[in-house]
Chain A
Amino acid sequence: MSTFLVNAGGLVLMAAIVWWFWLSPSDDGQSDQDHNHH
């Protein structure tokens, strides 16, 4: 069970890294530009 949880956790973490840093829209700059983005 713990093996499954650790591995699944690791995979989720990797997916989250990919999503957060590459796939999700970046909101560099200022907040008023955020509104334009979203």
Chain B
Amino acid sequence: MSKNTELHPLLSISGASCQGCARKIRSALEPLTGDADRVEVNLENQTVSLPDGIDTSEAARAVTDAGYPASPMATSSDTHQPPENDHCHAEKTQPDADAGHKPELKKAESAATDDDQIHLAVTGATCASCVNTIEKALTSVEGITGAHMNLADNTATATGHADPQTLIKAVESSGYGASVIEDPDEADENKQEQDRKHYRTLLVKMAISLSLGLGLMIWGMGFNTMRVTADNQITWITLGILTLGVMIATGGHFYTGAWKAFRHHNANMDTLIALGTGTAWVYSIVVASVPDALPEMARHVYFEASAMIIGLINLGQALELRAKGKTSEAVRRLLDLRAKTARVIRDGEEQDLPVEQVKAGDHIRVRPGESVPVDGEITEGSTRIDESMLTGEPMPVSKGEGDEVSAGTLNTSGSIIYQATRVGSDTALAQIIRLVKKAQGSKPAIGRLADRISAVFVPTVMLIAVVAALVWYNVGPEPAVVHMMVAATTVLIIACPCALGLATPMSVMVGVGKAAEYGALIRQGDALQTAGKLDLVILDKTGTITGGHPAVTRCQATDDDTGRLLALAAGLEQHSEHPLAEAIMAKAKAENVSPVKVSGFEALNGKGVSGELDGEPLRLGNRRWLEQQGVDLAALGKEADTITAEAGTPLFLALGNTALGVIGVADAVKQDSEAAIRRLHDAGIRVMMVTGDVDATARAIARKTGIDDYRAEVLPEDKATIVSEMRGKGYTVAMVGDGINDAPALAASDVGFAIGTGTDVAIESAGITLMRGSLHGVADAIEISRATVRNIHQNLFGAFIYNSLGIPVAAGLLYPFWGILMSPILAGAAMSASSVTVVTNANRLRLFKTSSSASREGNK
């Protein structure tokens, strides 16, 4: 992009995961920049670079409207720093098993910080329309570029820079309550307490209103009939006033909510309930007060309907609240993993301290059966640590001096002393909790569609209610006034969109939590949705299919002096931290060979390493590169073929133009890779491998693991091109890699899976991070994604079918054929049942088991 000489990263974005997203963002900004090519989207860092002179707030708004929450980056000085990804590009251009070596691996840092997000706890939101109203209210605040409300846990997140108090006011003035979430943990506890209180209150309210409604119904039907006569007029007026009192006491929140929404030109679930019950009560009190104004057949009161509808909806909300609590179980389970105290050794003395007082650098003792309080590195002792709660890996892992331990894991056998490295909110566990919470609140594309529909839904229902009333009045049988009132009330009550609003977030919450249980951390709701549609999985070889710990398998020197060969190779590799280098160093150490001193070390991407020995160039690398340098490798050809046939990588060593020998390094295939690939095949997914290895090595591994297709001798930077190429062929592609070297390919794919090591949770380029280094995680995540998307579809289908059948029936469509006109009380029960059904169906996902765990249980 030669035009972009003056581009600076000015916007921080989220949710952009592929080139399609980048295109959308560029075209959204085209009206501002005049040319889409003048915009650069960095998927890896989640930033957008713009030419000078563009209004960043306006640009952020345009990007947010395109579906990617964006905010201007904090300070102008930031914008003139070189893009952060520069170093990432340097890192990512590392080969996997080829002879490229890298001096230093740096963990991908979380680029999108939470600094520009304000989290609010919202009260009073009950349906999809509320979500819309709140999001609209928040985005209308100056400085806010995007807002997202999660109905499943009643939190809202505003992206941008604004005074939190202004945001609270904005939410309050649109009819809801809000408070800033400062300490998420405390907020969780408060919320649980509030929910418990709210649940009890709802049950009491339900009991009062249902008692009155049922009492009236029994009394009216049993002794009196519900008609107003001169004899019972006073009684009915008194009962009407009593009903009004109960309606206000037990359903007051519906009326205030409806009024506040109405004042802001909005309509929500409260509007429908308030109008429905209000219409029934007003009609009844008119009948009771001036019965003579209406024909005799129309002197029927519906006080019991108003009271019972409110009672049933309160019951529905109470059940919903209880079921909602269960969906966040996954996070609660993670929160419960945190230890309260740590046995810290300070000045030679062991003392139990609250975990908050542990500092990085402290030495901590963990005895068998205790959980690890903070992250750290073992300095004394060895043990087996159960990491299943974090990684999903069922077998305890052996750990000794120098190994890392993570907070929340369980020490099963020996006593260890370790040094704390990360404490508080920096621990892997804290990061996982943050990530899971964030993903649980994110909304996949399918959910945004439901939101758009529900925004116009309530006013449309109001129109339908008026039309139904007029039709009944004009062409319905007598008593027309009663029928019109019943039809309008029933339509208003049955059409409540609460099920629609809950359908997606409930399933996402359970699905993301379920994936976390299996050690798959999903970053975005979109990744969860797309993972279910995958039909091609591209696997990086090293560390993904293989263990990533290569070992020297063969060593042949042209002069048969393998000791000198190793010493020279180790002399070069001692400067490198590449896994291949580690393998050679380990071999040299095992053979008691001291590395020869080599100067001028240089790592060449995808080729090998070079240095200088006695003024001559010393090179260790792949065949292609050395032959290009004029080295004749013919004498080593046979040995190299044997190495590749055994799925190893031959590394040739040459001094000047003379070949000195070949070293075979092989990376063993992980035990469960083959089984995991079979699971992907069973799921109808094609599996492809990309590797920097030579063709013969790649072929050997592909044959061993059942991989359908492979690309060998791929340079790291070409992996992204292959991903794009396969996407171009119509595949929905997942890239599975290590998250650092493979970052561009991960970002270019539809869903990037980063294989983590249990602690690398902050991998931004991947949509899904696998905590355990097994490919089963990919299959698990795909199965969970499919189950979640299926669940969302069921929920949305249920919610839409309910409304599209319920509204015509409520309007009286069945009356001409079978004389059926639905009672408003039944409508209230049906409405409550619909949202309870959606929440219950989402909860069903909690019981989901992936095929691996199901078969594991079957084998027990």
Kindly state the separation between the CA atoms of A26 and B470 in the bound complex, as whole angstroms. 29
Interface contact A28-B264, CB-CB below 8 Å: yes
CA distance A24 to B267 in the complex (A): 14
Contact across chains for B459 and A22 when beta carbons are under 8 A apart: yes
In contact, A7 and B466 (Cβ under 8 angstroms): no
Chain A, 1-36, contact with B by CB distance < 8 Å: what is the 0/1 string? 001001100100110011011101111111101000
Tell whether, in the assembled complex, residue B170 and residue A17 are in contact, meaning their CB atoms are under 8 Å apart: no
A20 cross-chain contacts in B, Cβ below 8 A: 262, 265
B462, CB-defined interface residue at 8 Å:
yes
Chain A residue contacts of B473, Cβ below 8 A: 3, 6-7, 10
Cβ-defined contact, A29 with B265, below 8 A = no
B265 touches A27 (CB 8 A): yes
User: Does the CB pair B137–A17 fall under 8 Å?
Assistant: no
Main secondary structure on A side of the interface with B:
helix
Q: Is the CB of B264 within 8 A of A26?
A: yes
Residue of B nearest to A27 (CB): B264
CA distance A13 to B462 in the complex (A): 10
Distance, CA A30 to CA B265, complexed state (A): 14
B462–A26 CB distance below 8 A: no
| Docked pose: A9 CA to B462 CA in angstroms | 14
Shortest distance between the CB of B378 and any CB in chain A (Å): 54
Cβ of B173 under 8 Å from chain A: yes
Do the beta carbons of A18 and B137 come within 8 Å of each other? Answer: no
Query: Is B469's CB under 8 angstroms from A17's CB?
Result: no
Roughly how many angstroms separate A21 CA and B466 CA in the complex, as a whole number? 15
Given A7-B470, A24-B265, A29-B173, verify A18-B463 contact (CB < 8 Å).
yes
A26 with B467: CB separation less than 8 A: no
Q: How far is the CB of A4 from chain B (nearest CB, A)?
A: 11
User: B466 to A17, Cβ gap below 8 A?
Assistant: yes
- Chain B neighbourhood of A18, CB < 8 A: 459, 463
Q: A26-B265, A28-B264 are known contacts. Are A13 and B466 too (CB-CB below 8 A)?
A: yes
Contacts of B138 in A (CB 8 A): 29
Task: Indicate which residue in A3, A13, A24, A30 contacts B141 across the interface (CB closer than 8 Å).
Answer: A30
Determine whether B169 belongs to the interface, using a CB cutoff of 8 Å to chain A: yes
Within 8 Å CB of B266, what residues of A?
21, 26, 28
Are A14 and B463 in contact (CB-based, < 8 A)? yes
Near A by CB (< 8 A), chain B positions 256-279 give 262, 264-267
Residue of B nearest to A6 (CB): B473
Q: Mark B439-464, 1 if CB is under 8 A from A, else 0.
A: 00000000000000000001100110
Asked if B853 CB lies within 8 Å of chain A CBs, one says no
Closest to A12 in B: B466
A21 & B140 in contact (Cβ 8 Å cutoff): no
Taken together as a complex, chains A and B put the C-alpha atoms of A24 and B466 apart, in Å, by 20
Q: Which residues of A contact B467 (CB under 8 A)?
A: 10, 14
Assembled-state Cα–Cα distance A7/B471 (Å): 9
User: Residues of B within 8 Å of A, CB-based: how many?
Assistant: 27
Q: Chain A: which residue is nearest B459 at the CB level?
A: A21
- Within the complex, what minimum Cβ distance (angstroms) separates A31 from chain B? 7
Q: Among the interface residues A7, A13, A24, A28, which one has the most CB atoms of the partner chain B within 10 A?
A: A28
Q: Assess whether A28 is in contact with B463, with CB atoms less than 8 Å apart.
A: no
Residues of chain A with a CB closer than 8 A to B458's CB: 21
The interface residues of chain A lying within 8 Å CB-to-CB of B170 are 28-30
Contact assessment for B169 and A6 in the assembled complex, using a CB-CB cutoff below 8 Å? no
- The 8 A CB mask of B81-101 against A (1 = contact, 0 = none) is 000000000000000000000
Bound Cα distance A1, B858 (Å)? 76
Question: Taking each of A13, A18, A27, A29, which has the highest tally of chain B beta carbons within 10 Å of its own beta carbon?
Answer: A29
**What residue of chain A has the Cβ atom nearest to residue B481's Cβ?**
A6
Cβ-based interface call for B166 (8 A):
yes
Is B133 interfacial (CB-CB < 8 Å)? yes
- B473: nearest residue on chain A (CB-CB)? A6
Enumerate chain B residues within 8 angstroms of A31, measured Cβ to Cβ.
Answer: 173
Contact B140–A10 (Cβ < 8 Å) = no
Size class of the contact patch on chain A:
20 to 34
CB closest residue in chain A, given B166: A30
Q: Smallest CB–CB gap between B457 and chain A, Å? A: 11
Chain B, residue nearest A13 (CB): B466
Q: Determine if B575 is an interface residue (Cβ-Cβ < 8 Å).
A: no
Q: How far is the CB of B21 from chain A (nearest CB, A)?
A: 28
Whether A28 and B267, one on each chain, are in contact in the complex, defined by CB atoms closer than 8 angstroms, is no
A33-B466 in contact (CB<8A): no
Does B136 lie at the interface of the complex (its beta carbon under 8 Å from any beta carbon of A)?
yes
Cross-chain contact A21 with B137 (CB below 8 angstroms): no
Q: Is B174 an interface residue (CB 8 A)?
A: yes
Closest chain A CB from B57 CB (angstroms): 15
Query: A residues within 8 A CB of B466?
Result: 10, 13-14, 17
What's the Cα separation between A6 and B136 when bound, in Å?
A: 36
In the complex, the answer to whether B169 meets A30 with C-beta atoms within 8 Å is yes
> Which residues of B (710-756) have their CB < 8 Å from a CB of A?
none
Whole-angstrom CA separation of A7 from B264 in the bound complex: 28
Interface flag for B474 (CB, 8 Å): yes
Contact at A33–B140, with CB atoms within 8 Å?
yes
Question: Is the beta-carbon distance between B133 and A28 smaller than 8 angstroms?
Answer: yes
Q: Which residues of B contact A30 (CB under 8 A)?
A: 140-141, 166, 169-170, 173
Kindly state the separation between the CA atoms of A26 and B132 in the bound complex, as whole angstroms: 13
Cross-chain contact A29 with B470 (CB below 8 angstroms) = no
**B463 surroundings in chain A (CB, below 8 A):** 14, 17-18
For the complex, what is the distance from the CA of A14 to the CA of B174, rounded to whole Å? Answer: 23
How near does chain A come to B159, taking the closest CB pair, in angstroms?
A: 16
In B460-497, which residues have CB < 8 Å from any A CB?
Answer: 462-463, 466-467, 469-470, 473-474
Nearest B residue to A22, CB-CB:
B459
Whether A10 and B470, one on each chain, are in contact in the complex, defined by CB atoms closer than 8 angstroms, is yes
User: With A and B bound together, what is the CA distance between A10 and B463 in angstroms?
Assistant: 9
In the complex, the answer to whether B470 meets A6 with C-beta atoms within 8 Å is yes
**Considering the chains assembled together, what is the distance between the CA atoms of A7 and B173 in angstroms?**
35
Chain B residues in 8 Å Cβ range of A13:
466
Please state if A29 and B459 are interface contacts (CB–CB under 8 Å): no
Give bound CA distance, A25 to B140, whole Å: 13
B174 touches A28 (CB 8 A): yes
Inter-chain contacts of B174 with A (CB < 8 A): 28-29
How far apart are B467's CB and chain A's nearest CB, in angstroms? 7
Query: With a CB–CB cut-off of 8 A, which chain B residues contact A26?
Result: 136, 264-266
Q: Which of B133, B166, B264, B462 is in CB contact (< 8 Å) with A17?
A: B462
A9 CB → nearest B CB, Å: 9
Contacts of B265 in A (CB 8 A): 20-21, 24-28
What is the CA–CA distance of A37 and B136 in the complex, to the nearest angstrom? 15
In the complex the two chains form, is B267's CB within 8 Å of A21's CB? yes
Closest B residue by C-beta to A19: B265
Alpha-carbon separation in the docked complex, A7 to B267 (Å): 24
Given contact pairs A17-B463, A21-B267, A21-B459, A29 touches B469 in the complex (Cβ within 8 A) = no
Nearest to A7 among chain B residues (CB) is: B470
Most chain A CB within a 10 A radius of its CB, from B138, B170, B466: B466
Report Cα–Cα, A24/B463, bound state, in Å: 17
Which of B133, B166, B169, B462 has the most chain A CB atoms closer than 10 A to its own CB? B462
- For residue B122, give the distance in angstroms from its CB to the closest CB of chain A: 15
List residues of chain A with CB within 8 A of the CB of B262.
20
Shortest Cβ gap from B5 to chain A (Å): 37
The answer to whether A10 touches B469, judged by C-beta atoms less than 8 angstroms apart, is yes
Partner of B136, one of A10, A21, A28: A28
CB nearest neighbor in A for B133? A28
- Minimum distance in angstroms from B611 CB to a CB of chain A: 65
Cα-based distance from A6 to B484 in the complex (angstroms): 11
Q: Measuring CB to CB, which residues of chain A are less than 8 angstroms from any residue of chain B?
A: 3, 6-7, 10, 13-14, 17-18, 20-22, 24-31, 33
Known: A10-B473, A26-B265. 20 other contacts (CB 8 A): A7-B470, A7-B473, A10-B467, A13-B466, A14-B466, A14-B467, A17-B463, A21-B458, A27-B265, A28-B133, A28-B137, A28-B174, A28-B264, A29-B173, A29-B174, A30-B141, A30-B169, A30-B170, A30-B173, A33-B140
7 examples of A-B residue contacts, CB within 8 angstroms: A7-B473, A14-B466, A17-B462, A20-B265, A28-B174, A29-B140, A29-B170
4 smallest CB-CB distances across A and B, nearest first, come from A29-B140, A21-B459, A10-B470, A26-B265
